Amino acid sequence: MFSFLLVALLLFTPFSNAEPIHIPLKRRAGTSKHHGAHIASLSASADGLRSRYGFDPSTHRVEALRQKRANKADIAVMNQARDSSYFGSVFIGTPPQEFGVILDTGSSDLWVADTDCSTCGGSTALYDPVKSSTYNASGQITDIRYGSGEVVGEIVADTVSMGGFTVTNQIFMSVDETSRNLLDGSVSGIVGFAFHAIASSQSTPFWQTLFNAGALESPEMSFWLDRLIDEDEDVPAEAPGGVFTLGGTNSSLYTGEIEFLDLPEAEVRSFWLLHLQSATVNGQSVQVNTGADALSAIDTGTTLIGGPSDDVKAIYAAVPGSQQLDGANEGFFSFPCNNTVEVSLSFGGRSWPISPEDMNLGVLDLEDTSTCVGGIFDLNLGSSLSAGGGNPHWVVGATFLKNVYSVFRASPPSVGFAELSNVALRNEASAPEPSPVAVATVANKGSFPTPSSAAQSFVPAFALSASVLMLSLFLS
């Protein structure tokens, strides 16, 4: 168990709750699905996701969760590798340095690569602490391992801004070593939007500092994630990919009411969790575990959907011509490319359909373009972990989230879904260009974690986002 509880005293100048800020997102696009599903990379990424959520057969969850306990911004989203990951801009330091970071509701840490990173790509923007007058070093080195990758760096503090929100003395990880090919293009790291309890750095997440200080107009974070996987032609390496709203919602991006579903009761909040209640394939009901046996992490930092072995098999059993893959591709399923596969999921309210375009990741073999790979895979393949224990049974990523407008609400703790508007479906939305100009500033007077508890983190159940592993997915 972690031995230190970070206490942040939030001192800030009073401000009125202004309109939320909407932040455009970006994506990096790769080749079309007709060029192949890159199944080897998908399999490696699936292994990383299993490890992250505690389903690695060689590891077990050994750490307990640490207890923790306006304005609004639209932030541009960019899309990487045809919907494999989505990132936005964050500014760190004084004067501010801009970085692309994956927006991840499945983790809680902020980390960026720094100028000492020898394993980072030449196009990756690197944090230079020497150039920041507000940089503060702890001298504590942290090694976070996940799946087949890792990041190593120092726990530091500096001024961090996103969408006009600024937190001074924000604690994060300055990374000087990563697994090779982990970062590429404009992405320099990750920013987590899950809860404090699962932060490997033991710091209060950026969003939660703002929420605790009353700086947000509404205790909500909302996502519209655009789709590129259905594009046949080559597209730019990094393309506009949606809008992330910090501190509320963007009513132009959804239609009708937002269906909010309460998070299950818990002593400590960790992930954004819901209970899966039903699944259908092409309108046909599928027998899957539900309720407490179907705890689902709603995760913007994950590309695919992973679920329990029996439930995933039941879904593909309803798909004509589907086959379970073996060998290095074990855990994935294929089906004839000319099949239209529409899966719908319900988490307690209405049933939300997943576009057939998102269920089809592309052809399995370039020599045989008649067989395609499905977007749902076996998450707990080979794991001896039993149900419960705080581990999600399902991880629901962009394969599902591209089909809804999603809202993550801190109070009361809940996740909401709504139908996408025509503005979103026609990709007519926009958000301001990234800017470090502050609209609200919060002073975080917390302290660094104790050296003994920050020396190393290996917590398979809530390590770094598997989407980071996906960065190199379509680069080969």
* Catalytic residue check, 83: no
User: What integer pLDDT is reported at residue 7 of this predicted model?
Assistant: 28
Q: What is the CATH number of the domain that holds 297?
A: 2.40.70.10
The answer to the question of residue 410 being in a domain is yes
The answer to the question of residue 175 being in a domain is yes
Please tell me which residue in 83, 104, 176, 311 is annotated as part of the active site: 104
User: What integer pLDDT is reported at residue 265 of this predicted model?
Assistant: 92
The answer to the question of residue 458 being in a domain is yes
Tell me which residue range forms the domain holding 145: 10-472
The answer to the question of residue 360 being in a domain is yes
Please tell me which residue in 83, 299, 311, 378 is annotated as part of the active site: 299
The answer to the question of residue 233 being in a domain is yes
Number of domains in the chain: 1
The answer to the question of residue 350 being in a domain is yes
pTM: 0.84
**Edge-first strand listing for the sheet containing 273-275:** 273-275, 295-298, 394-396, 305-307, 376-378
User: What integer pLDDT is reported at residue 53 of this predicted model?
Assistant: 64
* Nearest in space to 264 (alpha carbons), one of 298, 289, 288, 311: 298
The answer to the question of residue 430 being in a domain is yes
pLDDT (tens, 9 = 90+) of the chain, 476 residues, equals 333 222 232 333 333 454 676 766 765 554 455 555 566 566 666 666 665 665 554 433 223 222 222 578 888 888 877 777 899 999 999 999 999 999 999 999 999 999 999 888 888 999 999 999 999 999 999 877 655 568 899 999 999 999 999 999 999 999 999 987 778 789 999 999 999 999 988 899 999 999 999 999 999 999 999 998 766 667 777 888 899 999 999 999 999 999 999 999 988 999 999 999 999 999 999 999 999 999 999 999 999 999 999 999 999 999 999 999 999 899 999 999 999 999 999 999 899 999 999 999 999 988 888 999 999 999 988 665 554 566 799 999 999 999 999 999 999 999 999 999 999 998 888 777 787 777 788 988 777 877 645 444 433 333 333 333 333 332 22
The answer to the question of residue 459 being in a domain is yes
Q: Please say whether the beta carbons of 243 and 429 come within 8 A.
A: yes
User: What integer pLDDT is reported at residue 374 of this predicted model?
Assistant: 97
Q: Please say whether the beta carbons of 156 and 169 come within 8 A.
A: no
* Catalytic residue check, 176: no
